[in-house]
Amino acid sequence: QYLTTGSPDVAYPLAGSIIASLLWPDSMSCRRAIRLGHRLAELTQANGDYDTLLGRHLFHAAVFSLVQEPKWLVGLEWDMLALARDLYCVKTLGVSSTALMYSMAQHTNNLMHQQPHLAQQPHLLAASLPPLPPL
């Protein structure tokens, strides 16, 4: 936790390395970067200083790699999709995706905590994607 919230001089290069590793054409590096991306989102979800870093850059890298469908991503698509989903839920809705699914299964409406900052970057990026052609 110290590496991510202790000092921005350490956290931003670390997050930049994670983002670069998501796009590096090596499946092992990508797999580890996905895990680190989940952990980074967990640790910094309440900190508004990381909205641009997580909501724009990390989310964009995850969506970009899914849309491009590179050969080295074979077998990691669901993990990458889970990372994009978690980032979207945490930064746009203010709750983790697991809490969202649990509350939907329990039919409760008390999951939306009032967050002082909710990033709009993931929502804007998802809205800007072109529509899928009909089958």
Q: How far apart are CA 29 and CA 20, in angstroms?
A: 10
Q: Name the nearest CA neighbour of 86 among 46, 37, 128, 127.
A: 37
pLDDT tens column, 31-79: 999 999 988 888 887 777 778 788 888 888 999 998 888 888 888 999 9
Task: Quick: pLDDT tens for 70-116.
Answer: 888 888 999 999 999 888 888 777 766 666 666 666 666 555 554 54
CA-CA distance, 88 to 95, in Å (whole number)?
A: 9
Tell me what pLDDT residue 116 has.
Answer: 46
- Give the C-alpha separation, 91 to 49, whole Å: 12
| pTM recorded for the entire structure | 0.73
Specify the pLDDT at position 92: 77
> Which helix (H) or strand (E) is 67 found in, with range?
helix 59-68
- Name residues whose C-beta falls within 8 Å of residue 131's C-beta, 6 or more positions apart in sequence: none
| CA–CA gap between residue 42 and residue 117 (Å, rounded) | 16
* pLDDT reading at 121 higher than 90: no
Can you tell me the mean pLDDT for 107-129? 60
Give the integer Cα–Cα distance in Å for 68 and 75: 14
| Cα separation, 80 vs 12, whole angstroms | 21
Write the CB contacts of 65 (distance below 8 Å, at least 6 apart in sequence).
22, 23, 30, 73, 80
